[in-house]
């Protein structure tokens, strides 16, 4: 009996691998591992941060794979390159931002205060009060005083860091253009989160400061002798965690583009699992 095209197409569809489902299965043991390894910490976010910053088998495993010229190391770097590419080609939005390597290296701005900096006839005081998590701001305070008598020209307090809200404030609008420009620049100095690039554009061969991952050259921190791949670790663990979140929270659109992303994410996570056995 001849087989019709509809039946062929149905079997083709059934031959597809559900990489989103495989990613979930791979995340379960990874989740169990970090719950066990960092049992004194309370939230998933705290434990993910600990993976990035403290010596552990996942961080060490990723570093060894990035440093290795073995077939396994080459395979891992190829999967990493493919994940980088697929996230560029297929937009997946998380709760707060797009999920991709371009914004995965986020770090807290250590500067949180400008203490009575003098400019012209004025003194500028700005302070950012941080909450428990990266980018969580509980208060932003700005005060401008005259140097001559310490009288207040401008006083602003807001429960978040928001440049648009700041510039729309009526008292800001009433400042002179000179004061507006100065206080805006100082406000931006205290931006709570700094985003660093994972790409290395200024390559050095002695010592080698990059990893060649197919067509991507990614940063190798030659100053961090305990983990040369620290930037890779931080960015990759963050991306995998965000992919987990958007999936577990039901926010992912499970289309063909998402399957391509999760295929590479699953392959990477599966290799990481080998390091925690």
pLDDT (mean) for 111-123: 95
Closest CA to 232 of 52, 15, 3, 73: 52
**CA angle, 227 then 68 then 219, to 5°:** 50
pLDDT of residue 118: 95
Kindly report, residue by residue over 202-240, the tens digit of the pLDDT: 999 999 999 999 999 999 999 999 999 999 999 999 999
The percent of residues in the chain predicted with pLDDT above 90, rounded, is: 85
Which phi and psi angles does 173 have, rounded to 5°?
A: -60, -25
Please report which helix (H) or strand (E) contains residue 223, including its range.
none
Q: Which residues of 162-188 are buried (b: 16+ CB within 10 A; e: fewer)?
A: eeeebeeeeebeebeeebeebbeebbe
- pLDDT beyond 80 at 174: yes
Q: Are 96 and 195 in contact (CB under 8 A)?
A: no
User: Rounded to two decimals, what is the model's pTM?
Assistant: 0.81
Domain boundaries, the chain: 17-104+198-273, 109-194
């Amino acid at each position: 009996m001849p087989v019709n095209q509809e039946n062929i197409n149905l079997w083709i569809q059934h031959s597809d691998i559900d990489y989103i489902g495989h990613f979930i299965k791979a995340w379960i043991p990874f989740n169990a591992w970090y719950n066990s390894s960092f049992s004194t910490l309370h939230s998933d976010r705290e434990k993910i941060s600990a993976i990035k910053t403290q010596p552990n088998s996942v961080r060490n495993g990723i570093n060894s794979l990035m440093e290795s010229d073995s077939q396994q190391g080459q395979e891992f770097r190829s999967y990493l390159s493919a994940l980088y590419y697929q996230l560029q080609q297929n937009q997946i939005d998380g709760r707060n931002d797009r999920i991709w390597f371009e914004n995965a290296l986020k770090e807290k701005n250590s500067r949180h205060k400008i203490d009575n900096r003098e400019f012209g006839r004025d003194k500028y005081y700005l302070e950012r009060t941080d909450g428990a998590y990266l980018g969580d701001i509980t208060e932003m305070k700005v005060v401008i005083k005259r140097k001559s008598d310490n009288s207040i020209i401008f006083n602003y307090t807001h429960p978040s860091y928001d440049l648009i809200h700041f510039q729309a404030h009526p008292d800001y609008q009433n400042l002179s253009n000179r004061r507006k420009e100065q206080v805006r620049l100082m406000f931006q100095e205290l931006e709570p989160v700094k985003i660093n690039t994972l790409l290395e554009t200024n390559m050095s061969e002695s010592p080698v400061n990059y990893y060649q991952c197919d067509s991507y050259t990614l940063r190798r921190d030659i100053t961090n002798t305990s983990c040369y791949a620290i930037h890779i670790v931080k960015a990759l663990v963050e991306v995998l965690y965000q992919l987990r979140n958007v999936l577990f929270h039901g926010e992912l659109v499970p289309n063909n583009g998402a399957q391509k992303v999760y295929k590479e994410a699953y392959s990477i996570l599966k290799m990481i699992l080998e390091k925690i056995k």
